[in-house]
Amino acid sequence: MAKRTFSTLETFLIFLLVMMTAVTVALLSLLFVTSGTIENHKDSGFPATQGPLATQISSANQGSTAFQGSTLTQEPTTIQMSPMMTTPEPPLFQNFTGYHIGVGRADCTGQVGDINLMGYGKSGQNAQGLLTRLYSRAFIMAEPDGSNRMVFVSIDIGMVSQRLRLEVLNRLHNKYGSLYRRDNVILSGTHTHSAPAGYFQYTVFVIASEGFSNRTFEYMVTGIMKSIEMAHTNMKPGKIFFNKGNVDGAHINRSPYSYLQNPQSERARYSSNTDKEMAVLKMEDLNGDDLGVISWFAIHPVSMNNSNHLVNSDNMGYASYLFEKEKNKGYLPGQGPFVAAFASSNLGDVSPNILGPRCINTGESCDNANSTCPIGGSTMCMAMGPGQDMLESTQIIGRILYQEAKELYASASQEVTGPLTSAHQWVNMTDVTVLLNSTHTAKTCKPALGYSFAAGTIDGAGSLNFTQGMTVSDPFWDTLRDQLLGKPSEEIKECHKPKPVLIHTGELSNPHPWHPDIVDVQIITLGSLAIVAMPGELTTMSGRRLREAVKAEFATYGMKNMTVVISGLCNVYTHYITTYEEYQVQRYEAASTIYGPHTLSAYIQLFRVLAKAIATDTVANLSTGPEPPFFKQLIIPIIPNIADRAPIGKTFGDVLQPANPTYRVGEVAEVIFVGANPKNSAENRTHQTFLTVEKYEATSATWQIIHNDASWETRFYWHKGLLGLSNATIQWHIPDTAQPGIYRIRYFGHSRKQDFLKPAVILSFESTSSVFEVVTT
C-alpha cells in the first residue's frame, strides 16, 4: 500500500479531534466522582438511589435466590439490602375465567433542558423545551388465583438501560417482595429519539449523554414505579383478546441493500422487505368495559429528525395520544383510566420516512448501497416523511398506526386463555458458543463498533466522512484511535470480520466498561401468546428468523400454534442485531451489531432454551446466569447547575410579550415569559405541567383547563441566555375544533436560588397571560 499523506483538511481534523479528546479526557478525570455520590444527590430533593438487586428473587417455578444490596465501589456491587417494606397483596376474586388485569400510566418525562436527547448521537442536540410529556404505561396480568402474573411496561424513552431496570426491580422487591421479579417484569422502550438521555451506566452511552443525570434517572424510575403501582392497585377480573392485521403506508426499509443479501429463497416467502403486521392485545373487564391495549409494530420513532430540540414521544407516542384521547373523553392528555401502549418490535432497519432517501442539496435519490450523494457524500443523504415538516410527518404516521390499532381493537375476538409462565436468564453475550450445524460451532465476540456506525443512517447521518458499507479500515482513523484509545487486539479484529473495528469497546473499561457483557434474555407466555423481550434492535429478517425459531421450539415440545411477538428495546440496550448475511455488507445496522457476525444465531439459541423450558415445565432448572453490575460512581453532567436570574426590574414569570387580543382558529397564540431552567421542575415537582390553556366559563365564572403540556397542540420553548437568564415561550396552535370564547395561558416553573455558602433551593412560581378571544372567522 502506498504511503498515505494527509490533506490540509485531514490535518486540521486530526488537530481538532486530538484537542476534543484531550478536553474529554480532562472532563472525565475531573467529573468522575470518587466520593461515590451521583449528581444532584445533595440538591435534587431526591434520596440517593439504593443499589439494586444483584440476584433477583425468582418465580416459584424458577426457584429462589437471595437478595443483596450495594456498597460504593467502581466494581460490580456487592449487595446489602435495605429493610424490605412489602405491600400486602389485596384479596383477588378467583371464581371466573380470564385474567386479573391492571393498567396504569404515569409521567416519566425527566428534564427538558440542559440535557442531550437520546437516539441520534448528535452533539448539540440538547433539550430546549417540551412538545409532549413522556409516559410509562404498565399492564399487569395474573391468573385467577393470582399465583402467576406478569408486568409489561412500555416507556416513552429511547431504550431501557440496564441501570434503569435493575433499580426498578430493586424498588419492586422493596415494595412487593417476590411478587414482581426479573423473570416476570418486562421493561420496553418505544425508541423515541426525542427523549432525554443521561440514565445509563456504560461509558459509550454516558459519553453520548454527556454525563449521568440522577435528576432524570430518578424521574424515570419514579414514573415507571408509579405506573406499575397504579396497575397493581387497579387490578380487576377481565378478559384479553388478540388480533393482528397489516399496516400499509407507514414505513420503508432503510437498508434495502442489506436486506437483499439474505437468501432469495427466504425473501421469496415474504411480500415485503418490512414487517407490516401489527399485533394487538385488547383488555376489558367482565362487564365488557375497556381497560387498555398494547400494540406491537416495527417502526422507528424518528419522524422527528435530529434538528429537533423539543422532548416528545414521536409517532408511537402520538398514536397512544390519539387512542387514549378517544377512550378517555373529558380527560386531559395523560389522564383517564384507559391506557394505550404502542410498543416497539423488530424495527432495526425500518424507517417512517416513507418518501425515501434524497440528497437534500440536489433532490436526487440516494437510495444506493452506501447512501451517499455525488456532492456532500453521506451527510447530504436523508429520508423524508410524508408531511410538510417533521411534526406533520409525525402526526401522519402516528394517525395511521392509531387507526389500524383502533380497527384491530374493535374487531378483536380471539380470546387469550391459558396459563401464564415466565422464563429469564442473564447471559454473557461476549462468550456464547453457537452451534451452526452438527459439526461446526462459532463464538460471539467482545463488543465493538464498526466504521459504518459513525456514518449514521438515512434518518440521521453522521457528521464526519464515514459512509455506510465500509468493510475496510482507514489508516487516518485507525492511527487516531490507536493514539487515543489504544490498539484493538487481533482477537477482536478477527472475531468481528468483515467489520473493520472503529472502537473496540469490549476492551475499554475506564472509568467503567464501555458496553455491557451481561444481558437479559426473557420470554413470557400468556396462553398461546409468547412475548420475546429483545435487548436491542432486530432487523426485519432477524426478527422473522427469531419468531420462527421460537415458535418451532414451542411446537417441538408440544405447544402448538403459538403466536410469537417480539418486544424490542427491552431490559438492557445492546444496539442492533442483523442476520449473518446482512452483517457481511456492513451498513449502519451491521456495524452496530456489537457482539459480532453470529449475534443473531446466539440469541436464537438462547431464546430456544427458554422456549423449551417453558414448554417442558422445566423453567425451575434454568440457571440464573452471571448477574450484571451496577455502578454507583458515574460521570456527572458536563452542564453545571447554576442559579437562575431574572432581568433587573423583573421577576420570574413576568410577561415579556403578551398575547394578541384576538386569534382565529388555525392561528398560533404565543406568550413570552421571564423563564427559569426547566430542569429545576424535574427536581421540585410542585407543578405537574409547564403550561395550561384555559377557557373562561361565564355560567360558572370559572376558568376551565382545556390543554396542558401533554397536548400536541401546545409548545413549550426554553431560550437559554447568559449567566442564568432565560425566557420561556408558550404557544397554543389553535385547532379548528376550538370553541369561540375568552382564553388565557398560564406558565408554571421553578427557579434555582443559590446563596453564597448555602445549599441551592428550588422555588416554584406561576404566571398568567392577559386574556384573549378566539373567534371562528
Answer yes or no: are the C-beta atoms of 70 and 673 closer than 8 Å.
no
Q: Which residue in the list 351, 393, 601, 711 is annotated as catalytic?
A: 351
Helix (H, G, I), strand (E, B) or coil at 131: coil
Nearest alpha-carbon partner for 243 in 295, 178, 186, 298: 295
| Reduced 3-state DSSP string for 52-89 | CCCCCCCCCCCCCCCCCCCCCCCCCCCCCCCCCCCCCC
The residue to which cell 436526487 is assigned: 364
Distance CA 129, CA 715 (A): 8
Helix (H, G, I), strand (E, B) or coil at 668: strand
In the structure grid, which three cell numbers stand for residue 327, read together? 377512550
Distance CA 456, CA 461 (A): 4
Nearest alpha-carbon partner for 311 in 641, 717, 691, 40: 717
Return the bridge partners of 423, or none. Answer: 523
Question: What does residue 539 show for φ and ψ, rounded to 5 degrees?
Answer: -75, 170
Distance CA 58, CA 180 (A): 9
Distance CA 457, CA 511 (A): 29
Q: Is 59 considered catalytic here? A: no
Return the bridge partners of 744, or none. Answer: 694
Distance CA 338, CA 104 (A): 8
> Each residue of 626-653: b (16+ CB within 10 Å) or e?
ebbbbbbbbbbbebebeebbbeeeeebb
The conformational region for residue 198 under phi > 0 = left, psi -120 to 50 = alpha, else beta, is left
Nearest alpha-carbon partner for 496 in 453, 461, 464, 463: 453
Q: Where are the alpha helices (DSSP H) in 105-202?
A: 162-176
Distance CA 580, CA 688 (A): 48
Distance CA 511, CA 199 (A): 16
Nearest alpha-carbon partner for 514 in 533, 496, 480, 488: 488
Residues annotated as part of the active site? 351
